[in-house]
Every structure is written in structure tokens, then in C-alpha cells.
Amino acid sequence: MKAISFDEKTRVFSLRTNNSVYQMQVRDYNTLIHLYYGADVGDCEVDYRIVMLDRGFSGNPYEAGDDRTFSLDVLPQEYSGYGNGDYRINAMECEHEDGSDAIALRYLRHEIKPGKYALEGLPAMFAREADEATTLDITLADAASGLQVHLLYGVFPKLDVITRAVRVLNAGEKVVKIKRAMSMAMDFPNMHMDMIHFYGRHAMERQMERMPLHHGVALVESKRGTSSHQHNPFVILCDHNASERSGSCYGFALAYSGNFRCEVEVDQIDQTRLVMGIHPYHFTFGLRPGETFETPEVIMAYSEHGLGGLSRLYHDAYRSNLIRSRYVTSPRPILVNNWEATYFQFDDEKLFSIAKEAKDLGLDMFVLDDGWFGKRDTDCSGLGDWTVNEQKLSGGLKRLVDRVHGLGLKFGLWVEPEMVSEDSELYRQHPDWVLRVPGRLMSRSRYQLNLDITRKEVRDHVMDQICGIIEECGIDYIKWDMNRSVDNVYSAALSADRQGEVFHRYVLGVYEMMERLVTQFPNLLFENCSGGGGRFDAGMLYYSPQIWCSDNTDARDRLTIQYGTSFGYPISTMGAHVSACPNHQTGCTTPFETRAVVASAGTFGFELDLTRMTAEEKAQAREQIRRYREIEPLVLCGDYYRLTGPYEKKNYIVWQFVSKDKRETAVCGVMLHGEANPHIHLIDLDGLLPQARYQDLDSGRVYSGAALMKAGLPLPIARGDCQPILFRFKRVDGE
């Protein structure tokens, strides 16, 4: 099977993965038409699906002459431009020197080559071996301006993933301003689908919402300078009846951490178009002759095995061909973070006392959060001054790090490199180093401002300080935070006609800083954070193998946060900790064991004052750590199944991990409420071998895989609210 083929006679491109096919065709007047994306259709070309009709008020290209059936307003196009007779949402819009903004893209040529294309300064999936992926580069050209648009496709057959991006080349003789450059467009022949997206807010991210498509435009977007807490750059289109286990599902994930937009339009004849890419809000990008612009990548996947099948495709693809860290499938250090234990009020002895308790419990790492630098006793000052506060840390940071290392623990550190406080030495020395609109008062957020990361001297100044501390002190882990949206968007370093580039250049600057970090310190464990989950996207996973899932550590809220996150992101990428009760964000109380079960669906760690734990709690914590170590290989590398979810109005939420060889499984969850005269709740497991025999490691009882998946397993009787569920099974038939 060829991953990419082109039929010279029919001019049909076929892109094939193990279980899906993507087809497009160069048709009349060198127009590139989309034919199909979905389940494998064998070697058949499906150009017969295109039916030409004369549609009223749908115009025709001049080249079509008297043929009124050929209209770009209704044909399924592969990548549409503005001003060519297509009145639907478009993929590209440009402004030319004469003020016009039309663009007519026609097929010029193509190239098929082994391996995977790369994007300059942008995250993207990669091929570890050349035969893992194949690249298709189709060049479309606008004859009037000389603009060339390269449609890039990366096909990963074994992963069932196709990636898309666009490279724009100004091959003309005049400056062209890009006003809109989406990474991809996709046309479907009907509207009989649901759209699933993941909305939220700070401390309640990625809440799943599912709705049928409707006439008009459905929109998911961020204009906050980040992918945001409010919306996630991952969208699913699926059959109305698609479930976890069955139904056609299409996933679209933008590997980008800035402003984005995903639009889905149902047109006049019930066709559906989806476009995804950089948000056109406050965006223009000037291209002089010979210059290029590249869009971020969209990672597409199709599954006819339901939402669960689609999720597992993304989990596998990201772990194998997006996340570069050495930690992607290796055990992560189980840590304690001091933030909820001390906030800003600590000294070196208090921190060391927590570290000693961590060692006693069997933890692997102590993490020092905010407050260790500059004049930083509250969140009103100190950001930007990455020098050690020796009033808090007597003898300096290295002394504390050495003492913690002496216990046999790793040492982690919190930083917020993109921000500055007005009350800081950096701001007093360089007030022009922030984003600020001339002549206007600035918008504050959390008493901090955005550094102008578009400027190299700013990036270098910050990273020189932080990298110096990492090297001098022997830091093992960095938590990179970002605690406000991007605002006051104007760079003093760019000319007036370049201000529309600030948002995108800011993101490119962040990526450059992170690339320096992971390149200079390849053994560093790097965790991304933006007030928790405000920048939880595929772009960030290219640099960091884990992301702090949410600032909300309440186990009950984490059930929905982690559930929504699991649709598009591996479980191993979710930072999840056991925190104190009553919970610091919600004031709610959940059992200690339940907090651990929920946190085990993630990287696992602790976020509380270990010195205040009772002897009983310490014994429980040691057992929690031991149990997590046993299931950690499943969390990192196994298949994940959502057996039930928080929106099903059931009294339990249950999930399951299964090893790739089907020999081991862990079933975890929470019984939400105690019941008088209770029901007996049976849960059907998934992903096992029907004829294999599995032993419950607690009771010793042996079940067939078929029984566990078809007859079900009784859940424990809840005695009180939020009771933990945990079963572990291992195959015992020896085959």
C-alpha cells in the first residue's frame, strides 16, 4: 500500500493510512476539489460523488464560459480563497498593494517525497524513521499576484493520522499582506453530524459540549493570545449516534498555542465545511517578494470505532511522534509541590522540612513553586527578576538544592518567563520591554504585564537568567507558568504596518525560548502551565511531556476536567496531584483515597503540607505511591477507555487502562454518592481478550475477558460520597 499516490489520468490524489482514505482531485480549470475522507474504500476513486448542477445565485469562474454547473460556491474545495465566487467561510484572504483582496488558487504542481515535512519555528509531528511518514506538497498559485500556496500533507499510515499545514510563498514582485491563512479546510457532503468541543474557564477547563450541526456557522475560538482556558484547539465531528465504541468520528487538533479559530459552516445545500488555523483577529503578516509564511499544523484522525477509538489514535500518535521528551514513556518522578503548603510564606528550613517528609514517604522530587526570586512576597511584585531571594533562602538556592539532592530527591523549580511586574528591577530598567499600546493606559491582570517576547533581546535576557540558575543549581524539573492573557498588543520594536504580526510573533518567541530550554537541558523534566490548563494544546506537548491540567485540584471537579482532556490528549500528559482538604479552590472535602485514585489518572504527585499529615495519612500515602508505581506503565503507555462519563447521570464515573499486550488492566473511578438500599451497579470493561482469563489481584478470583466485558463487574457499595473504585487484573492463562 502506497501512503500517497497520484493517478495521472484521473488526476486523483489518494492518501492512505491503515484504516482511512483521503482523496482529492484536480478538476476543470485546475481547481483542486476535495472528494472524500473516511473509512477505507479500497482502490476505488470516489470522484463520482461530485454532481454538477446549475445553482441559482452561485456564480461561475470566467474560464467556465457558458457552463453554469461549475460553481466554486457549492463544489467541495480543498483550500478556498476569498473573492473567487465562493461565499462560504474561506481558508485564505490576502491584501495586495492596490488594496484588493481576492485570491484565485489553481493547481500548479505537486511533489511526493519520503519522510515528514517540518515547519520552521513551529511544533509539528515528526517521523523517527523516514518510512514512518510520507509528505505530499501540492502547489496552488494565484496567477494575478504570483502568490504560491503549498498545501502540505503528512501521512502516517500506522498511526491512522494525516497532518496538514500551509506554506505561503510570495513569488510575485509586490508585497502581499496575509489577512487570513487557515491551516486546513475540509468539506463534507452533508450536515448529519454532531460537533464536540471543549469549553471552560480558569479552574474548570475542557468541559465537553456536544451539539448537532446547524445551518450557519458554529465557532470555537480564542483571542487571548493563548489557546486559553475558555476553548481548546481540538474539535470532533461525528455521527449523531456515535458512542465511545462505535460510529464515525473525525478529529482536528491544531498544534498551536496562540489565537485560533475553528469554524464549521452548513451551507445552502446542507454541505459542511470546517476550517481551522490562526485566528484572523488582529492578524496581518506582510510578505515581501521571496518571503514565506508557514501556518501551524492540524493533526487529523478518523476512526469508525467511536470516540474511544479516536482518542486512542491521538494518544498513540502524540506519545510516539509528537512528544520528544525522554520521559514520554519512562517513569516520571512522583513529586510534592510546596505551593498549597506554603504559598509565598516560607524559608529554606520550612521547605527542607517538607522535603524530608517527602523522602520518608518515598517520593522522588521536591518542587519549589512561586516566591523564591526577587522581591516576591505576594503576586504584586518581582516577576522578571530571576535572582534568588536570599532573605528567604539563606545561603542561596544552590544550598537548598544541594541539601535536597543530599536526601536522594530531585529538585524542581517554578518560573514564569513571559511576564514582568511593574514593581521589579527589570521593568524599572526596561519599561519599553512590555507590550503596550502608545498613549493608552495598560490593562492589568494579576498585577503583571506581558513581556514583549517578539523581541530577541527580551527572550535572551530572560532565558540567560533562568538557564544560568538551572545550570548552576542542578535543577531537575521546570514548571513554566503563564498567568495572564496577552493584552496591550503593540510592540515598540515593530513598525506600524507590522503590528498585526505581534500575536503570532509572540507565540513563535515562546516556542523559541522553550526550544532553547529543552535543547540545552535534554534531561530536564519540563512541565508547561498557564494558570493550570490555559495552554493545554498539541503545540505545547512538542516541548513538554506533561501540562498542569488545572489549578483546580478538587478531585470531584477533576473528574470532568480530566475526562474532557482525555478525548484529545494522552493521560500521561495531565499533571494531577493529591491536595489538601478542605480543597483550597472549592472548600469541598473528598476522601484521601479518592483524591489519589483521581490523581492516578495523570502524572501523580502531592500538593499539600506533608509536615501536617497524620501518621495514618502518611501510611495511606505510602500505599498510594506503591499502587501508582504498579499501574504507572499502563498510565504512560497503555490504552485508555472511558467506561462512563460525568454527563451520563450515573452514580459513578469509571475509566480503564489496558496494557498494549492485553495482559494487565486497571479499572479506576469514583462512586459519587452513598445510596440507601443501594442498586447493584455493573460496569462492562473493554479492551480485553475475550478468551483470556484475568485474575483480580485483590480477591484472587479469575474471570474470562468475555465475562468482564459482557456480563459486567459489580462496583463497590458506596458508604458516603465520593468513594474510590480500584480493580486490578492480570492475565493468568499464560498464552
- What pLDDT digit, counting tens, does each position of 495-546 carry? 999 999 999 999 999 999 999 999 999 999 999 999 999 999 999 999 999 9
242 neighbors 307 (Cβ within 8 angstroms): yes
Share of the chain above pLDDT 90, in %: 99
Q: Are residues 358 and 315 in the same domain?
A: no
77-108: b (≥16 Cβ within 10 Å) or e: bbbbbbebbbebbbbbbbbbeeeebebbbbbe
Task: Count other C-beta atoms under 10 Å from residue 271's C-beta.
Answer: 17
Cell of 186: 475540509
Task: Let me know if residue 332 belongs to a domain.
Answer: no
* Interval 271-287 mean pLDDT: 98
Instruction: Report H helices in 252-326.
Output: 306-321
Share of the chain above pLDDT 70, in %: 100
Q: Collect all residues with Cβ–Cβ distance below 8 Å to 128 and sequence separation of at least 6.
A: 320, 321
Sign of the Cα torsion 281, 274, 166, 302 reads positive
Q: Are residues 316 and 384 in the same domain?
A: no
Task: Let me know if residue 337 belongs to a domain.
Answer: no
214-224: b (≥16 Cβ within 10 Å) or e: eeeebebbbbb
Three-state DSSP state, 558: helix
100 neighbors 81 (Cβ within 8 angstroms): no
Strands 161-170 and 292-294: antiparallel
Task: Let me know if residue 336 belongs to a domain.
Answer: no
**Residue of 377, 379, 512, 617 marked catalytic:** 617
Write the single-letter amino acid at 348. Answer: D
Q: Are residues 226 and 274 in the same domain?
A: yes
**Residue of 537, 551, 607, 639 marked catalytic:** 537
Q: pLDDT-based confidence at 1, cuts 50/70/90?
A: confident
Task: Let me know if residue 656 belongs to a domain.
Answer: yes
Task: Let me know if residue 174 belongs to a domain.
Answer: yes
Q: Which domain holds residue 622?
A: 342-638
Q: Are residues 553 and 622 in the same domain?
A: yes
Q: Are residues 160 and 295 in the same domain?
A: yes
For residue 582, say if its preceding peptide bond is cis, omega within 30 degrees of 0. Answer: yes
What is d(CA 23, CA 15) in angstroms, rounded to the nearest whole number?
6
Q: Can you give the three-state secondary structure of 663-683, one letter per residue? A: CEEEEEEEECCCCCCCCCCEE
Q: Are residues 262 and 398 in the same domain?
A: no
Task: Let me know if residue 326 belongs to a domain.
Answer: no
Task: Let me know if residue 133 belongs to a domain.
Answer: yes
Q: Are residues 629 and 674 in the same domain?
A: no
Rounded (to 5) percent helix, strand, coil in the chain: 25, 30, 45
Q: Are residues 543 and 618 in the same domain?
A: yes
Instruction: Report H helices in 63-220.
Output: none
Q: Are residues 559 and 420 in the same domain?
A: yes
Domain endpoint, select from 638, 671, 689: 638
Task: Let me know if residue 334 belongs to a domain.
Answer: no
CATH of the domain at 685: 2.60.40.1180
Residue pointed to by grid coordinates 468520528 = 249
Domain endpoint, select from 604, 638, 672: 638
Total structural domains in the chain? 3
Q: Determine the pLDDT at residue 734.
A: 72
* Claim: this prediction has a pTM higher than 0.95: yes
Q: Are residues 668 and 630 in the same domain?
A: no
CATH of the domain at 235: 2.70.98.60
Q: Determine the pLDDT at residue 6.
A: 98
Question: pLDDT tens across 90-115, in order?
Answer: 999 999 999 999 999 999 999 999 99
CATH of the domain at 591: 3.20.20.70
What is d(CA 150, CA 153) in angstroms, rounded to the nearest whole number?
10
Q: Determine the pLDDT at residue 735.
A: 63
Q: Are residues 629 and 724 in the same domain?
A: no
Q: Determine the pLDDT at residue 733.
A: 87
Question: pLDDT tens across 124-154, in order?
Answer: 999 999 899 999 999 999 999 999 999 999 9
Known catalytic residue: 617? yes
Query: For all residues of the chain together, what is the average pLDDT?
Result: 97
Known catalytic residue: 593? no
Q: Can you give the three-state secondary structure of 507-530, one letter per residue? A: HHHHHHHHHHHHHHCCCCEEEECE
Residue pointed to by grid coordinates 535543577 = 475
* Interval 353-361 mean pLDDT: 98
Question: pLDDT tens across 713-732, in order?
Answer: 999 999 999 999 999 999 99
Domain endpoint, select from 578, 609, 638: 638
Q: Are residues 266 and 382 in the same domain?
A: no
